[in-house]
Amino acid sequence: LSEAETARVTYDLMGYRHRVMTMFERLIRIRDYNRETPALAWSFLYFFCLLSGYYVLRPVRDAMGAASEVEAVFPPAMISFFAAYGIPLKELILQVLSTCSFAMILAAQPVYGALVSRFPRRVFLPVLLGFFILCLIVFYTLFDSRIEGRGLVFFVWVTVFNVFSVAVFWSFMADVFSNAEARRYYGYIGAAGTVGAFTGPILTRTLAVEIGLANLMLVSAAFLTVCVVCIWRLRHWAMRREAEIGRDNESAMGGEVLAGLKLIAKEPLLRWLAIMVFLGVGIGQLLYNQQAEIARTGFSTAEERTAYFATIDIAVNVLTLFVQLFATRWLLTRFGLGAVLLIPMAALLLGFAVLTASPLPILIGVVQVVTRSNEFSLMKPGRETIYTRVDRQWRYKAGAAIDTAFFRGGEITFSWTYKALSVFGSSVVFGAGFLAAIVMTFSALRLLREQDKLPVDRVSGPAGQI
């Protein structure tokens, strides 16, 4: 080798050694954190299994939304009803599914509010997951029998399951960890979830053709069963933190069933948070609808579409895991909430500006991967640190209302917006997304101003006592 080549090889080896050592140092840090706080390992396992269980199902759900066989999605009576009025459901599959999902979310919100108001945490958390496990056993029967219309029920149910299960998880984490701990640990807990979100679609892509869609329901149910065990083990650390700060979260929460929506209407911080979530989901929905159209025209079977969406999920989760391991904790502890909100805003504005000018399929895929990754790795952990500084009514009720009614409200609104704007071309669709991203950035700035008014780890005033 020449001197220049030798120098280049030496430089490459040193760079590789540095990357390996950096990864090793992060693993050591996670190990040390777990020794300080044993609850961290159970939190890792909980979120890993929760997202593994969900992401086993998500590609199946997405395949239903992009189905070319309308009979697999809607029951015959529903198809006939719309056909009688000259409305072809095949052209409105995602829009109708989003509308039904939103209606179910609204119906489930007061039920959830009643559950968290009247029952202690040790009761409603396992009961909620137990109900989801029972539903999966029912879906195993529906898919195994290939009953017509199964797609509608499954799509709606998976949407409800995802919203409530993840909202409850982060609310529970705010019971277990303080705000200071949340800033240190949430990035790593999110990384454990990302590994699960990475594992789920790999299992689906590997097993969908081999064992069929029906048996995937049982795989997901097994993951959720482990989650129930984790909840039971984490209860000890939640109770210990409550004793340290003088509160009792094991009793029923009380309050009104619709207290979450009333809090959002009353509190500026919650209002801006709700607006930001609404627009963020809506912008993602524009990308999702366009991606579904690509899948619908590009693949002929549900299994092929399932594998396609699993590939998208894998790409999202690889990028998410990288950011969570190498950036989330550093940004949160050094720069605070502002960095993890505004960096994704800048990427979103740039991405939609590019798509408005040139809406190529490959660019749509890239922007979708980056947008979803930023939400999971930066924005979601950042937003959840706010809930460690407020009381249970904010966490379990207002937080759940934002993650349900406003989350799905953004989905249905922008799903129909996409359908209306798509007749003018993709550039118009993404131009509207760019304008929404501007408003979302303004909302993030106002949210940062409001959260600065909260004390560091304890809350007084409108939020009440932690």
Distance of CA 393 to the CA centre of its chain: 21
Distance of alpha carbon 237 from alpha carbon 22, whole angstroms: 30
Distance of CA 385 to the CA centre of its chain: 16
CA distances from 196 to 42, 44, 47, 224, 320 (A): 14, 10, 7, 12, 12
CA distances from 395 to 18, 88, 208, 237, 387 (A): 41, 42, 37, 18, 6
Q: Give me the amino acid identity at 111.
A: V
Distance of alpha carbon 253 from alpha carbon 94, whole angstroms: 37
What length does the chain have? 466
Distance of alpha carbon 344 from alpha carbon 375, whole angstroms: 8
Are the CB atoms for 72 and 314 separated by under 8 Å? no
Its pTM surpasses 0.75: no
User: Can you state the angle between helices 302-323 and 39-65, rounded to 10 degrees?
Assistant: 150
CB contact set of 112 (below 8 Å; sequence gap of 6+): 164, 400, 404
Q: What is the pLDDT along the chain (466 residues), one digit of tens a residue?
A: 555 555 554 545 455 455 444 545 555 555 555 555 678 888 889 999 999 999 888 888 877 766 656 666 777 888 788 888 787 777 777 778 878 877 887 777 777 767 766 776 667 788 888 889 999 998 888 888 777 767 788 888 888 888 778 878 877 887 787 777 777 787 778 888 888 888 888 888 887 767 777 888 899 999 999 999 998 888 877 777 666 655 555 554 444 445 667 788 888 888 999 999 999 989 988 988 888 777 777 776 766 777 777 778 778 878 888 887 788 878 888 888 888 999 999 999 999 999 998 888 788 888 988 998 888 888 888 887 887 776 666 766 777 678 777 877 888 888 889 888 988 888 899 999 999 999 999 999 999 998 888 765 543 333 333 3
User: Can you state the angle between helices 268-298 and 259-266, rounded to 10 degrees?
Assistant: 110
